[in-house]
Amino acid sequence: MNKIKQISKISLFAAFISVSVYLFPPIVVPLIQVPFTLQTLFIILAGFLFTPLEAFITVLLYVFIGAVGLPVFSGARGGLSVLLGPSGGFIMLFPLVSLFISFFKSKSKNMLHDLIIGVLISIVGLYFLANIWLSITLSLNYWVALLSLLPFIPLDIAKLLLAYFVYLKMPSEFVSRK
């Protein structure tokens, strides 16, 4: 793929992630102050659609755009204060989620393999690691904070399934191989 096409694709998808926070109003879980958004759908989709490096750069670009203050995080917020807040651990791990999904996805679009990888990375791994930051910022016990994330699981599974089915329907010229 030529560099201009690759840069355009990465930039466009980072813009999609940025706009995703405006597609659905954030629903904030009171105890932990972490909102349900559509961001993770696009984070997961980037992992399925792109090579590991492209996925990582795409999502890192999104995080950078928000870190410098553009209102691309949940609730139309931006800046370092969001990254240092309760949901910051999730946002900072998003580039790695995309990277690892892309790295471990099957070459042959094996649905069972890909969905298991998606759950292990975008739910199990993300929750366990991001919860460290969440529990520290809110001064909560790690396990109490982790239990407070349980309502997100069905919604995140639905986003994973939607991202995977979009990936399956994408024309092959848009999907990057490893």
The per-residue pLDDT string of the chain (178 residues; one tens digit each, 9 = 90 and over) reads 688 988 999 999 999 999 988 887 777 777 677 777 889 999 999 999 999 999 999 999 999 999 999 999 988 899 999 999 999 999 999 999 999 999 999 999 999 999 999 999 999 999 999 999 999 999 999 999 999 899 899 999 999 999 999 999 987 766 776 5
pTM of the model: 0.92
Strand segments, DSSP code E, in the chain are 27-29, 34-36
At residue 38, the pLDDT reads 87
Of the options 1.10.1760.20, 1.20.1050.40, 1.10.10.10, 1.10.1240.10, the CATH number for the domain spanning 3-169: 1.10.1760.20
User: Residue 134: what are its φ and ψ, rounded to 5°?
Assistant: -60, -50
Give the dihedral sign, CA 137/124/167/36: negative
User: No. of H helices and E strands in the chain?
Assistant: 9, 2
Maximum C-alpha span of the chain: 49
Q: Which 3 state secondary structure label does DSSP give 28?
A: strand
| 144 vs 80: CA distance, rounded Å | 26
| 166 vs 128: CA distance, rounded Å | 27
Other CB atoms within 10 Å distance of the CB of residue 165: 11
At residue 177, the pLDDT reads 65
What are the domain boundaries of the chain? 3-169
At residue 89, the pLDDT reads 95
Q: Which 3 state secondary structure label does DSSP give 87?
A: coil
Give CA 95 to chain center in angstroms.
7
